[in-house]
Structure 1
Amino acid sequence: MTHATTTPAEPAPVKQTGTWRYGVGMFGTSIPINLIKGSMLYFYTDVLGMDAKVFAAVYAVYSVIDAIDNPVFGFLSDRTRTRWGRRKPYLVVGALVLLVASILIFTVPTGVATDATLLVIWFATFTILAEMADSVINANYGALLPELFPAERVRAKANAIRQAGQLVAMILALGLTPYLARNVLGCEVDDPLCADPTIGYERLSIIFAVLGVAVILYMALGVHENPRIEQEQRPPFFRSVGQILSSRYFWTIGVVNACYGAAMALVLNGLQLFVKYSLGGDGTTATILQVVVIVSAIGLVAVWARLVRSWGAERTWKRALPIAAVAFGTMFFAHNLATAIAAGIAVAVGYAGVLATNDLIMARVLDDDARRHGVHREGVFLAAFGVLGRLNGVIVAIALWSLTTVFGYHNGDRPGPNPDLAFRFYLSVYPVILLTIGTVISRFVHVPGWDPLADRADERP
């Protein structure tokens, strides 16, 4: 029996979800998780004194756990049938769990902070919980993009709003965090008058968690899922996984995305330490650098979006990857704020290009899977790809481990003989290697296309 000619349900013609309401949801999903990714390493090693090797071990374990639970969450989402839809219940529950976990990561009781074993347990427990909640939210949020907006042009518009929301969230949760947490709401760990350097991050985690979850709930409660898709046969788990693993897109696009994700994870969690040890800057320096880079990326996403309309998503994606790889190499030679900003803007060019195309590439893969197999299983498909993406945490852990074994960096009290070089490698050399691998693999990818006539006929305001 073949599924090649089966046609999946078309989107319902009523109760269309607006591109803006859907797109702004990514602002909410990005705020808490970017605070975690951008400040967790600095907070636990430099502020609380956890050994970087111990941090790396925990990071590796929770990455593996997160990779394992990802397809389970996707599978459950695809098979869920409720009067509220398939995705909405998971978005609501995941948001509430993320609210609690993201606050507790940065709200460490004194007794826990001063006990090395309890600190590791606390860190592992709430980091894993936050990552699980993030997996649930993003598997369901990402699965809605091709379902709600089947027209390529409208989908591109919704994705542009998503990415703009993500970048604005990055300005707040990445760019402004060092200054707000260490100068406005708290104090610098190196300041002898600073009684509690954790308080700024604790206060900021509460603000960002409440804001982010409020936006996620606003988006989720306004989503109108396609009721006709719920009438489809529920996808079987093992057959779905087998078909996904046999897909050439899983082993090409999935690996490319994993390389890109690992490179960005290295940059996000290492930048505050790069600024401290390689540039000799403080929280204000870190804020200026990140805000300039992210604001540049916002404008550049619009430029890349126009190139997508001219070149198509695939060609644009393939051109953005090598640009990003080369750009990260320039960070190695930055020695002050001015040269770091110049290198950071170069990074923003490549980063914005990948950002503007990645989700469009994935959405077309999901469209192709639905056409060929006659069932919408975006949740498990994205979750399967997410396994590779989540496992990039193992790569990050190896990079962290190398800081200790190769460069001697342990924490803020024991930074080693050359922390400057350590974080130049961490923030520049390792991302270049990963993105170069991704660029090479992308040369062998041919993304499934779409019917432009159907796209125009299906376009929505």
Structure 2
Amino acid sequence: MSAASLDGPPSSGTTWRYAVMNFGLTIPAQASSFLLLYYVDGLKLSPTLAATVMTLFAVYNAIDNPVIGFLSDRTRSRFGRRIPFIRFGALPTLLGFALMFNAPFNGATQPWALVAYFAVTWWLWETAGTAVGTGYLALLPEMFRTYPERTGVAWRMNVVQVVGLLIGLALPPLLAARFGWGATAIAFSVISGVAMFSGLGALSERPQLQQAPALPLLPALRATFGNRSFLTVVLAQTMRFVTTGTLAAGMGFYVKYTLGVPGGAATTLLLATAFVVAGVSLWPWRALVAGRLGARVTLMLAFAVTALSVSLLAVVHTVAGMWPVTACFGVGLGGMILMGDVIMADVIDEDEVNTGQRREGMYYGLSGLITTLSGALVSLTFGWVARRYGYDPTLATQPDSVAEGFRVFMTVPPIAGAALALLLLSFYPLHGERLATVRRTLAARAA
């Protein structure tokens, strides 16, 4: 497969095939939220050891994101700049994900063997997955050049992403209870593989971009980190992932130990409610809010709704009381996921005006570097809460303090993350006349 040229606007079929690939990327990424539940509550690995491994690899992933992004910008091949990373990274990504949930060791009797296995399989999944994800997202601003094209593909991407979120976050506890974590992970890998490989033929690149010289590393880093629009957006997005990552990682613990409901059915249904509502809310966010107020204000409203919904978890004591809370959270989630890639494409357009180059790889790579640190923050917070409130997976009965601990975990970090995101977005400069000037400049260059 060679990199196809972009002679006109993408067809509806191409747009949908590109969007469906996001389904394959979303399922493993979201299902990985249950790694703590699998390794700690299931395999009895020490919470401190598990949190340490995840924190170290979050730091590693933060480093390899910009490296892969930089290499992607500089790649010159008959397959293109981005497509090779997707084509050759997809299979190792899926294999690593399946292996992570098929550990042959027990944390109570073989803790260090389990830690080593966890580390190796995590490394394979993270490294290959970063290559695929960076290449895929870097193609969005290149394949979809105008604001209508980008909002159109973003809507499709997020429709399938919501389905992927539903499958990747809501179904694992239920399926694992019936079939086991290993079989569930293998099934998810197969489904994700079909979605990812089915879209490869629709990917295309502009050959002329391979002919342009790329910025060396240090100038590229200076130009990127000197972009105020990028810094404010990526830090706000990091807070988004702190918020959603905490809720995803903690929901099973919150339902089981704080609400006192064992089993995975309640967790599955609650998460399903959030993602169904998020999917339903995509059209209203796009038609009624984003089109009128722009990406910045849309994201700020979404974070405000999220903070409000999460604050209610402090007073909820029954599963019945969780339904309106998760529905409200779903509304906020819909707004956050709708505009994330669109606003980053605006940032990359501004960079082209400033540098004369398309550097999607570096921007998405550095975005991954910074946002991946959210995983470290979530893991460190989980480890601290577990120790502070006396959670011990080897105990048959947990102390009463554990219930309060997971209530704290599900409220304080997400609210703080949403509040910080609102503050950061208030300083985001690329809106109004400044954004209009960027779009007019690029349109004039393309004419």
Do these two structures clear the TM 0.5 threshold for a shared fold by scoring above it? yes
Which residue among 267, 282, 288 is the counterpart of 1:286?
267
Aligned-partner Cα distance in 2 for 1:396–1:319: 23
* C-alpha distance 267-146 of structure 1, shift in aligned 2 (>3 A): same
Per-residue deviation, residues 253-292 of structure 1 (Å, max 9, x unmatched): 1211111111111111221111111222221111111111
Deviation at 1:231, TM superposition (A): 1.8
Per-residue deviation, residues 9-47 of structure 1 (Å, max 9, x unmatched): xx831594621111111101011121112x111111111
Deviation at 1:334, TM superposition (A): 2.1
Q: Report what 2:92 is aligned to.
A: 97
Per-residue deviation, residues 39-58 of structure 1 (Å, max 9, x unmatched): 11111111111111111111
CA contact (8 A) 2:45 2:106 kept: no
2:276 counterpart letter in structure 1: V
Q: Report what 1:224 is aligned to.
A: 204
| Alignment pair present for 1:314 and 2:296 | yes
Q: Report what 1:299 is aligned to.
A: 280
CA contact (8 A) 2:43 2:107 kept: no
How much identity, in percent, do the aligned residues show?
Answer: 28
Aligned-partner Cα distance in 2 for 1:426–1:170: 21
Which residue among 428, 433, 437 is the counterpart of 2:416?
433
CA contact (8 A) 2:28 2:189 kept: yes
Aligned-partner Cα distance in 1 for 2:283–2:21: 19
Which residue among 296, 299, 313 is the counterpart of 1:331?
313
Deviates more, 1:436-445 or 1:12-21: 12-21
Aligned-partner Cα distance in 1 for 2:350–2:83: 24
Aligned-partner Cα distance in 2 for 1:299–1:404: 35
| Alignment pair present for 1:12 and 2:6 | yes
Deviates more, 1:232-241 or 1:144-153: 232-241
Return the structure number with greater helix share.
Answer: 2
Aligned-partner Cα distance in 1 for 2:351–2:399: 50
| Alignment pair present for 1:269 and 2:265 | no
| Alignment pair present for 1:238 and 2:218 | yes
Per-residue deviation, residues 199-236 of structure 1 (Å, max 9, x unmatched): x1100100111111221122223211111222211231
Query: What is the alpha-carbon root mean square deviation over aligned residues?
Result: 2.2
Deviation at 1:333, TM superposition (A): 2.1
CA contact (8 A) 1:151 1:455 kept: no
2:40 counterpart letter in structure 1: T
Deviation at 1:134, TM superposition (A): 2.2
CA contact (8 A) 1:49 1:413 kept: no
| Alignment pair present for 1:422 and 2:415 | no
1:217 counterpart letter in structure 2: F
Deviation at 1:89, TM superposition (A): 1.0
Alignment of 1:246-265 (within 5 A): 246-265=226-245
Deviates more, 1:22-31 or 1:262-271: 262-271
Aligned-partner Cα distance in 2 for 1:450–1:25: 31
Aligned-partner Cα distance in 1 for 2:50–2:139: 34
Q: Report what 1:21 is aligned to.
A: 17
CA contact (8 A) 1:23 1:162 kept: yes
Per-residue deviation, residues 151-194 of structure 1 (Å, max 9, x unmatched): 101110101111111110111121122111103x2xxxxxxxxx
1:26 counterpart letter in structure 2: N
Alignment of 1:65-84 (within 5 A): 65-84=60-79
Aligned-partner Cα distance in 2 for 1:273–1:456: 51
CA contact (8 A) 1:91 1:217 kept: no
Aligned-partner Cα distance in 1 for 2:318–2:129: 35
| Alignment pair present for 1:137 and 2:117 | no
CA contact (8 A) 2:45 2:107 kept: no
Deviation at 1:64, TM superposition (A): 0.7
2:163 counterpart letter in structure 1: V
Q: Report what 2:332 is aligned to.
A: 350
Q: Report what 2:44 is aligned to.
A: 49
Q: Report what 1:87 is aligned to.
A: 82
Per-residue deviation, residues 300-346 of structure 1 (Å, max 9, x unmatched): 11111112112222221222222212221112222222111111111
What is the DSSP-based 3-state SS (H/G/I as helix, E as strand, rest coil) of the residue aligned with 2:199? helix
CA contact (8 A) 1:148 1:225 kept: yes
Aligned-partner Cα distance in 2 for 1:230–1:456: 21
Q: Report what 1:372 is aligned to.
A: 354
Aligned-partner Cα distance in 2 for 1:298–1:456: 33
Which residue among 126, 145, 150 is the counterpart of 1:155?
150
Aligned-partner Cα distance in 1 for 2:342–2:78: 29
* C-alpha distance 99-114 of structure 1, shift in aligned 2 (>3 A): farther
CA contact (8 A) 2:239 2:374 kept: yes
Aligned-partner Cα distance in 1 for 2:436–2:7: 20
1:225 counterpart letter in structure 2: E
2:266 counterpart letter in structure 1: T
Aligned-partner Cα distance in 1 for 2:232–2:65: 19
2:426 counterpart letter in structure 1: R
Number of corresponding residues: 433
Deviation at 1:412, TM superposition (A): 5.3
2:156 counterpart letter in structure 1: I
2:230 counterpart letter in structure 1: F
Deviation at 1:401, TM superposition (A): 2.0
CA contact (8 A) 2:43 2:106 kept: no
Which residue among 174, 178, 182 is the counterpart of 2:177?
182
CA contact (8 A) 1:112 1:122 kept: no
Q: Report what 1:385 is aligned to.
A: 367
Aligned-partner Cα distance in 1 for 2:399–2:298: 42
What is the DSSP-based 3-state SS (H/G/I as helix, E as strand, rest coil) of the residue aligned with 2:30? helix
| Alignment pair present for 1:212 and 2:192 | yes
Aligned-partner Cα distance in 2 for 1:205–1:400: 23
CA contact (8 A) 1:259 1:434 kept: yes
Deviation at 1:454, TM superposition (A): 8.9
1:221 counterpart letter in structure 2: G
Aligned-partner Cα distance in 2 for 1:111–1:385: 36
Aligned-partner Cα distance in 2 for 1:412–1:456: 62
